[in-house]
Structure 1
Amino acid sequence: MNELSFTASMLAVLPIYAIIASGSFARKVGWIAPAGDSTLMKVAVELTLPCFILYNLLENDKLRSVSFSISTIVLGMAITAISIFVSWIGGKILRLKVGDGLRTFVVTAGVQNYGFFIIALVAILMPNSEFTGLVLTFNVGCDLIFWSVGFLMISNAKKMSFDFLKKGPVWAVFLGLFLMWTGLDKYIGDSVKIFLKLMGGVAIPVNLMLFGTLIVDMLDLKKIAWKIVLAGTTLRMLILPAMLVLSLTFLPLSNPLKMLILMQSLAPSGVMSAVLAKHFGGHPHISVQITIATCAISLITLPLWLNLGLKIIN
Structure 2
Amino acid sequence: MIFTFLHAIESILTIIIMFMTGWVLTHVGWLDEKTSVIFSKIIVNVSFPCYMLWNLMSNFDKAKLQELSGGLIIPITSILLSYFLSVLVSNLMKIDPKRKGIFRCIFFTSNTIFIGLPVNLSLFGAESTPYVLIYYIANTCFFWTLGNYEISKDGEGNREKQKFSFDAIKKIANPAMAGFVVAIILILLEVQLPRFVMDSCKYIGELTTPLAMFFIGIVLHSTPFKKLRIDRDIIVLLLARFVLCPVVVIALELFIPVPSMMAKVFVIQATMPAVTSTGVIAKQYGADVEFATIATVVTTIASMIVIPIYMILI
Change beyond 3 A, Cα 1:302–1:63: farther
Indicate whether 1:190 and 2:195 are aligned.
yes
The Cα offsets for residues 99-120 of structure 1, whole Å up to 9 and x where unpaired, read as 6976654444344345755467
| Aligned-residue offset at 1:132 | 6.5
* 1:180 counterpart residue number: 187
| Aligned-residue offset at 1:298 | 0.7
The Cα offsets for residues 29-69 of structure 1, whole Å up to 9 and x where unpaired, read as 22222112333333333222222222222253465466567
* 1:86 counterpart residue number: 85
* 1:58 counterpart residue number: 57
| Aligned-residue offset at 1:15 | 1.0
| Aligned-residue offset at 1:286 | 4.7
Structure 2 segments unaligned to the other structure (5+ residues): none
Letter in 2 for 1:39: I
Give matches, 1:165-176, under 5 Å. Answer: 165-176=172-183
Structure 1 segments unaligned to the other structure (5+ residues): none
| Aligned-residue offset at 1:234 | 2.1
> Does the CA contact (< 8 Å) of 2:216 and 2:279 recur in 1?
no
* 1:294 counterpart residue number: 299
- Measure, in 2, the Cα distance between the counterparts of 1:39 and 1:269: 22
> Does the CA contact (< 8 Å) of 1:88 and 1:106 recur in 2?
yes
Change beyond 3 A, Cα 1:20–1:193: same
What SS is found at the alignment partner of 2:107? Answer: helix
**Deviates further, 159-168 or 49-58:** 159-168
The Cα offsets for residues 263-288 of structure 1, whole Å up to 9 and x where unpaired, read as 43222234665667778787655544
The Cα offsets for residues 96-144 of structure 1, whole Å up to 9 and x where unpaired, read as 3666976654444344345755467568876795566545532113333
* 2:137 counterpart residue number: 137
Change beyond 3 A, Cα 1:304–1:35: same
Q: Aligned pairs, how many?
A: 305
Letter in 1 for 2:147: F
> Does the CA contact (< 8 Å) of 2:22 and 2:218 recur in 1?
yes
Q: 1:159 aligns with which of 155, 160, 163?
A: 163
| Aligned-residue offset at 1:4 | 6.5
Indicate whether 1:38 and 2:37 are aligned.
yes
- Measure, in 2, the Cα distance between the counterparts of 1:223 and 1:207: 19
Indicate whether 1:239 and 2:283 are aligned.
no
Letter in 2 for 1:13: I
> Does the CA contact (< 8 Å) of 1:49 and 1:203 recur in 2?
yes
- Measure, in 2, the Cα distance between the counterparts of 1:115 and 1:6: 18
Letter in 2 for 1:56: N
* 1:252 counterpart residue number: 257
What SS is found at the alignment partner of 2:272? Answer: coil
Indicate whether 1:25 and 2:24 are aligned.
yes
**Deviates further, 242-251 or 147-156:** 147-156
* 1:212 counterpart residue number: 217
With normalisation by structure 1, the TM-score equals: 0.75
- Measure, in 1, the Cα distance between the counterparts of 2:46 and 2:97: 37
| Aligned-residue offset at 1:260 | 5.8
- Measure, in 2, the Cα distance between the counterparts of 1:206 and 1:127: 27
The Cα offsets for residues 152-176 of structure 1, whole Å up to 9 and x where unpaired, read as 5785323232324443322221111
| Aligned-residue offset at 1:199 | 2.8
Change beyond 3 A, Cα 1:289–1:277: same
| Aligned-residue offset at 1:178 | 1.1
% identity of equivalent residues? 15
Change beyond 3 A, Cα 1:137–1:286: closer
Structure 1 stretches of at least 4 aligned residues deviating more than 6 Å after TM superposition: 122-128, 275-282
What SS is found at the alignment partner of 1:184? Answer: coil
> Does the CA contact (< 8 Å) of 1:27 and 1:213 recur in 2?
yes
The Cα offsets for residues 170-217 of structure 1, whole Å up to 9 and x where unpaired, read as 2221111111111112xx333333333333332322222223323333
- Measure, in 1, the Cα distance between the counterparts of 2:191 and 2:312: 38
Change beyond 3 A, Cα 1:243–1:143: same
Give matches, 1:74-153, under 5 Å. Answer: 77-91=76-90, 95-96=93-94, 105-114=103-112, 116-118=114-116, 133-134=133-134, 136-138=136-138, 139-148=140-149, 151-152=152-153
